[in-house]
A and B are shown apart, each in its own frame.
Chain A
Amino acid sequence: MPFATEAAPHVVAPNSVGRVMRTVLYALAPVVILHWVFFGPGLAIQILLGTATALLAETLALRLRRKPLAPFLGDGSAILTAVLLALCLPPLAPWWLIVTGTAFAVLLAKHLYGGLGANPFNPAMVGYAVLLVSFPVQLLHWLPPQLASEHAGLSLAETLSTIFTGSLPPRLSWDAITSPTALEALRTNLKMGMTMGEAHQFASQERSAWLWIDLAIAAGGVWLLAARIIRWHIPVAMLGAIAACASIMYAIDPGSYAGPIFHLTSGASLLGAFFIATDPVSAATSDRGRLVYGAGIGVLTYVIRTWGGYPDGVAFAVLMMNLSVPLIDRYTIPRIYGHAR
């Protein structure tokens, strides 16, 4: 009786790239929901816009590169890129912002390098950095939480019209409704000569909403850890490095530097540590390499957000460490079983 043969192993885990990416998307779902609760439907619309753009761009790129559409459109990585990018943008940002950013991310940062798995730079962060250096004003229009705001929240229709026309409903003005992010507020206030205490107070008015969202992000991250989608090295190294830098500077001069808790819970620290720096494709390879990589991101993030010109440094830090990855990989090849160090 003849049988068909195949190479060992004859069983493989029921796993796929699509499943990995989808798990990450599920882990982000609570964040999106909480975002809606606090800030209205803006983010959801941005995600839809970004996803549509990402899929279009992916289709275009795959067509041009003559690759099969089905497996790559279905793998979810482009959608994840769009979602992460959307999470970094203000919810009422005009529509062309997310479209431009996603297109840059997918076309320039991903497909020019050979598509899924080959991109040395984190596509979402390339998209975000492009937007940040090109359109800084639009990226400053962050909203205060609906609940805390004296204005009634924007309705879905108003949100849509704001995103697509770029102008607010007549009863509102940008200056009235936007509020700086905590990091931004702290920087501004310190530059104004406030003391740290005053600055903190000012900065922390709207923080409770963000703390909930941070909690959701951390929960999602822990879930990813438990699901073995990510490992602890990058998040721990990155958050540890941020905390270490912040503690040192805080110990030296508590009057002008915020403490570690503030830094860990503001800006994109947590999102970066669990969802962005962990992008496997553009991260370092070995465990030791990933520790170096994560710590590098942490230190650079702290430096940029504390002394640099841009409000948060996660995106730049990730990109800078991305470009160091081949170098890190070269010097962190792990010891092989039976070989001396």
Chain B
Amino acid sequence: MASVLLILLSTVLVNIIAMQSASRWRPFAALDDCFAAARGLAIASLLAIPILSVSSWLLFHHVLQPRSLGYLRTPAFAALLLAVVPLVELVLRRYSRLVPERPGFALLLATNSMLLGVALLASERWRQWLDALAFSLAAAAALGFLLLAFAAMHERLRQADVPEVFRDLPLSLITAGIMALAFMGFTGLIQEGS
């Protein structure tokens, strides 16, 4: 569980840092504020990750495992992801006011999906595709919440009088550390819940 938490927070950090500091990875066109972009990414992740999780569950349990192709897990997941991410991009561009930008959006969403995918696949205890769906929904929701919270926090931290050497990245990491500390409170809970 600890690693799921770590991965989740790393994912959030990667997103926020990428959106903040690398213009070519901007996920959305004409969105000047980090919070709005984070919201867009949260929506995209909420779309992509459950789809991916269910489809990969079906793939593993009905295609790969019966044929002893377990070793294809990672590349097969990657290929599925590569099919789903552009679809999400398509849907967002058509049905929402968000305008996904070409390399950035796919890159970040692929990263998110891969990272969360790893976290989800790490535990092989989903016996039903419904389990996988439920867990991925929860994970995507957690990711979305953390993204928004972190983006909002980031905006607040921008105004603070932070010591020079800690400005930006180090402080973001320490914030993530304290967030992880907070979520340590859930240890034991998730185990027993599942």
Known: A65-B163, A326-B155. A308 touches B189 (CB 8 A): yes
Q: Which residues of B contact A120 (CB under 8 A)?
A: 153, 156-157, 175
* A87 CB, nearest partner CB in chain B, Å: 19
Contact with A along B159-182 (1 / 0, CB 8 A): 011110010000100110011011
* A302 CB, nearest partner CB in chain B, Å: 12
A274 in contact (CB, < 8 A): no
Number of residue pairs spanning A and B whose beta carbons lie under 8 angstroms apart: 92
B185 in contact (CB, < 8 A): yes
Q: How far is it, in angstroms, between the C-alpha of A300 and the C-alpha of B163 when the chains are bound?
A: 33
Q: How far is it, in angstroms, between the C-alpha of A340 and the C-alpha of B121 when the chains are bound?
A: 49
Q: How far is it, in angstroms, between the C-alpha of A111 and the C-alpha of B149 when the chains are bound?
A: 21
Q: Is the CB of B152 within 8 A of A308?
A: no
Q: Is the CB of B187 within 8 A of A323?
A: no
A176 in contact (CB, < 8 A): no
Which among A120, A307, A323 has the highest number of chain B CB atoms within 10 Å?
A323
Nearest A residue (CB) for B178: A121
Contact with B along A319-330 (1 / 0, CB 8 A): 110111011011
Q: Is the CB of B185 within 8 A of A316?
A: yes
* B139 CB, nearest partner CB in chain A, Å: 17
Q: Which residues of A contact B155 (CB under 8 A)?
A: 326
Q: How far is it, in angstroms, between the C-alpha of A332 and the C-alpha of B171 when the chains are bound?
A: 26
Known: A115-B161, A324-B149. A133 touches B181 (CB 8 A): yes
Q: Is the CB of B189 within 8 A of A320?
A: no
Q: Which residues of B contact A234 (CB under 8 A)?
A: none
Q: Which bucket holds chain A's interface residue count? A: 35 or more
Q: Which residues of A contact B178 (CB under 8 A)?
A: 109, 121, 126, 319, 323
Q: Is the CB of B184 within 8 A of A323?
A: no
B188 in contact (CB, < 8 A): yes
Known: A113-B162, A326-B153. A307 touches B181 (CB 8 A): no
Q: Is the CB of A304 within 8 A of B189?
A: yes
Nearest B residue (CB) for A326: B152
B192 in contact (CB, < 8 A): yes
Q: Is the CB of A303 within 8 A of B189?
A: yes
Q: Is the CB of A310 within 8 A of B162?
A: no
Which among B149, B163, B182, B193 has the highest number of chain A CB atoms within 10 Å?
B182
A118 in contact (CB, < 8 A): yes
Known: A112-B171, A114-B161, A114-B162. A327 touches B181 (CB 8 A): no
A154 in contact (CB, < 8 A): no
Q: How far is it, in angstroms, between the C-alpha of A130 and the C-alpha of B181 when the chains are bound?
A: 7
* A61 CB, nearest partner CB in chain B, Å: 9
A202-229 interface with B by 8 A CB criterion: none
B148 in complex: contacting residue of A112, A304, A319, A327, CB < 8 Å: A327
Q: Is the CB of B185 within 8 A of A308?
A: yes
Q: How far is it, in angstroms, between the C-alpha of A108 and the C-alpha of B170 when the chains are bound?
A: 12
Q: Is the CB of B157 within 8 A of A113?
A: yes
Q: Is the CB of B163 within 8 A of A112?
A: yes
Q: How far is it, in angstroms, between the C-alpha of A331 and the C-alpha of B163 when the chains are bound?
A: 29
Nearest B residue (CB) for A321: B182
Query: What are 14 residue pairs bridging A and B, where the CB atoms are less than 8 Å apart in the complex?
Result: A64-B163, A112-B171, A120-B175, A129-B181, A300-B185, A304-B189, A307-B193, A309-B189, A310-B184, A310-B185, A310-B187, A323-B149, A327-B153, A330-B35
Binding site for A on B (CB under 8 A): 35, 148-150, 152-153, 155-157, 160-163, 166, 171, 174-175, 178-179, 181-189, 191-193
Query: Assuming A112-B166, A309-B189, what are 15 further A-B pairs, CB within 8 angstroms?
Result: A113-B160, A113-B162, A118-B160, A120-B156, A120-B175, A129-B181, A129-B182, A130-B181, A308-B185, A309-B191, A316-B184, A316-B186, A317-B185, A323-B153, A323-B178
Binding site for B on A (CB under 8 A): 64-65, 108-109, 111-115, 118, 120-121, 126, 129-130, 133, 300, 303-304, 307-310, 313, 315-317, 319-320, 322-324, 326-327, 329-330
Nearest 10 CB-CB pairings of A with B:
A309-B188, A316-B185, A319-B182, A326-B152, A114-B160, A114-B161, A308-B189, A118-B160, A309-B187, A327-B152
